[in-house]
Chain A
């Protein structure tokens, strides 16, 4: 198992990846086709086209209010419940539309997991939090519960801290530990895509580094899409970066290129800190 404590900087950067991977054998996990989305009369996103590559980390950056969260939530249809929500265009997961009339929301969310900006453990014990999705999706029998809890907590590096209080309240944990618990909860149902919405914005630097290393260790087994306002974080962990501005995708490129040689002037202004 990958050590969670491994410094984030040791993670392979795009430039270090072997040429054969460069050649693009990984394929597309999610495909966004001419997506427009809004609430009532407000149009929040428009004209979005994007390929999320399988087994990579895609970072979404952009000023506050540029639509990153809304876009991320359209990938697992979390906007559906928002009042007056509408959308045009489509999102495919492995080639199949997630918005098709017969698409099963529960099945979609089992395959596309999500971790929110603020940790949101359920008001149940630490172990029960990990098992919530496992039970609902009947992923394993009762006899495996203990092992699942331990394995998932080890995976996120939380086991040593909580192994003697699995039945305690998750709210007795620090914010960073709660976020790791939410990550473990999301991983426990075995998603193929993981959506992270500024997962470290309320966390201290050490936990942030842990979570970044975690994210790195999840690929290429998983596909990760992460919203971050921390440009350094995007540079450190992502393979590709997408720059959002005013509800539009301005630029999408390999991370190194987007930061060092952006095509669009707006991107250049943003990544050099001259905007927002």
Chain B
């Protein structure tokens, strides 16, 4: 049987990441098995699908292991302060609405110290894509519990088990007004690429909550044998696709996080509204 031409091509030519990686920056700082690298690759493939000029892409991050991402990618890149990436990004986007602005942030960065910026960015519906690398821990500072650490999990600051209930990042983004909300995992890497691509194509604030593994801290402290074990237990078995959820018996869904595009609506985008305000009100008034 003959293989269809396009499929064959896809199989024989692996993705050329060097097109988007800055030369000489690898190996990256992430630990063996850290999910951040897998997510980075999915992000680059998704950006590639956009077919957009690298000069017009801006990648902004806060502080954390995940926030080291911009250093490796060949775009306009900004590594800011802990929690503040979305605010810096808002400034850039407002000043240059023609640029594609992508924020890479950790769950601690986005939801703890940056929680206020997170909800207000969603509320404004400014055209920024936020990729939240959710490893349920503060990786960079050595494994303290984060706003997404599950109850009873062990962290270096919850040695007796975490008693703080975690956020559902997607529910929060949706409630705050984000017009595109999705979840993916590092394990489902092709699906993640597609989800990020859809997020990038969406006009308005898009949030992708990406479950990935920190084997060094979360894994070790919570008795996972390896990065693979974490990916299987947390990402593969811990999530179900929105496309399948209705077909599955309740016991197969209980306690699992939903994967896929969870929310997508149309609502006026901030920069477009600003441009309208300038044209129709402010400048009209001054005439």
> Do A and B come together as binding partners?
no
